[in-house]
Amino acid sequence: MPFESQWSRIPLAARWVVCLLVAAALIVLLVTFVSHNTGNGEAIISKSKLKQESAQDTIIVRQQQAPHTLQVGSAAGAQAQLVRGVDALMRRQVTANLLPGPVQRVRCWENARRGALVGYHCSAKADDISYPFVAVYTPSAHRVVFCKKVYAPVASESIPVSRSCRL
């Protein structure tokens, strides 16, 4: 009588199931090993690191939204001076490689009044990207204060522009 192994006594269907389970386990182990050792897997970041990055993002957005002040000779020249000021800021940022360029156009329009104060919205376009600005003209001080409106990196976060740029 020829030698008969224990494996051959198991029904054929059960042998197939065992083989497929072993193959699936090997594939799972291989994928896990590769994803952890190639650096292509998702990064695991601690909560403290996320908080630190969020705080840094907030600081950067606040710096980008910092108020800029212009002296204005007359109420009639406020809008034109605002356009020149926003244009100059955008050109400096393009020159410093903070924004892609070139600056294509800057437009400003009056959007609200509260007492003597006049609120403006501006849109600066550079490299086919529009950048919004808000501004307030104070006639008694002969001054326009404008801020670039930068949206927070996280959509659920809102970082308002300076009060001096809002009505």
Residue ranges of alpha helices (H) inside 3-151 are: 6-9, 12-37, 47-64, 78-95
pLDDT value of residue 49: 77
- The model's pLDDT over 70-111, given as tens digits with 9 standing for 90+, comes to 999 887 889 999 999 999 999 999 999 988 989 999 999 999
pLDDT value of residue 58: 72
pLDDT value of residue 44: 65
Residue type, 37: N
| Sequence spans of domains, the chain | 67-165
Pairing label, strands 68-71, 143-148? antiparallel
- The model's pLDDT over 8-29, given as tens digits with 9 standing for 90+, comes to 888 888 889 899 999 999 999 9
The model's pTM is: 0.67
